[in-house]
Each structure stands twice: as C-alpha cells, then as structure tokens.
Amino acid sequence: MHERTPLQEHRVLVHTSLQPIRWGDMDMLGHVNNTVYFRYMEQARIEWIYALAGGRGYVEGHGPVVVNASCNFTLPIVYPGDVEVRMFIGEPGRTSIGSHYELRVAGKQYADGAARMVWIDHASGRPVPLPECVIAPLRAARG
C-alpha cells in the first residue's frame, strides 16, 4: 500500500465514474491499450465538469484545457469488467488546478494519473481565474 504524501493530503475526492471495459479497448497484447487509460480519466473529468455546470458543459464561456497529463500503469486492465475512476482535485493556482485519478477494477488499483487544467475564456483563449465552484470543495475540506 502506498503511503500518503503531503501533496495527497490536500486532495479532495470530487467525482467517481464507473465505466465499462470494452472489448475494443484492448490491444493485440490482450490488455487495455495505454491510451485508453487517458480516455477513462478524460471521461471522469468531463462528467465532473458537466456536473459543475448543471449539465450544460462549460460555465459562461469559460472552461478547462488540459496542459499536461500523466499516468502510472501498475497492473494491466483486461476485459471484461468495469473501471472505477476516482477523481480528486488539489494544488489550485489562480487560473489552474491539479486533478488526480485512481483507476480501480473490483476494488484493486490498476493505475493512477494526473492532469493540470487551466481555466480559459473560450473566446479569447486567455486564462481566467478559477470559478468558485471548482475550488469550493478544497475550501470546504480545509475548514
């Protein structure tokens, strides 16, 4: 079991997504292709963003873009089953926030990942301050 680092202690669980593993997610080696792990994380992130905006997508012409993403592959995921993607947020800046993911199958962690999101104005493409609804869970957790 991994020991929690100080950075992880400032993470707050904001969304859980249950996604089916599709036969077509696997590659010729008989396990889910590495690129699909990023799709699982992306789907969880999009579900969270839509939930923040009341099911309408982006709020007032603003929304996130991913500026970097990473994944640590611990065990190969194989068909059939469901992937539970747990999404956490942490490390807020003025215009960006870190998101972190745990990919689990049947309660066991198979991978973890991260993506840094910058909130931008879609018309100008320029960064804007994070909306309150994004950072509110962190403030609530810190008391």
Given this model, what pLDDT does residue 2 score?
43
Residue-wise pLDDT for 22-35, tens only, equals 999 999 999 999 99
CA distances from 128 to 48, 56, 136 (A): 19, 19, 17
Which CATH code is given to the segment(s) 6-142?
3.10.129.10
Q: Where residue 58 falls among pLDDT bands split at 50, 70, 90? A: low
The ranges assigned to domains in the chain are: 6-142
Given this model, what pLDDT does residue 9 score?
56
Average predicted confidence (pLDDT) for the chain: 90
Residue-wise pLDDT for 73-107, tens only, equals 999 999 999 999 999 999 899 999 999 999 999 99
Gyration radius from the chain CA atoms = 16
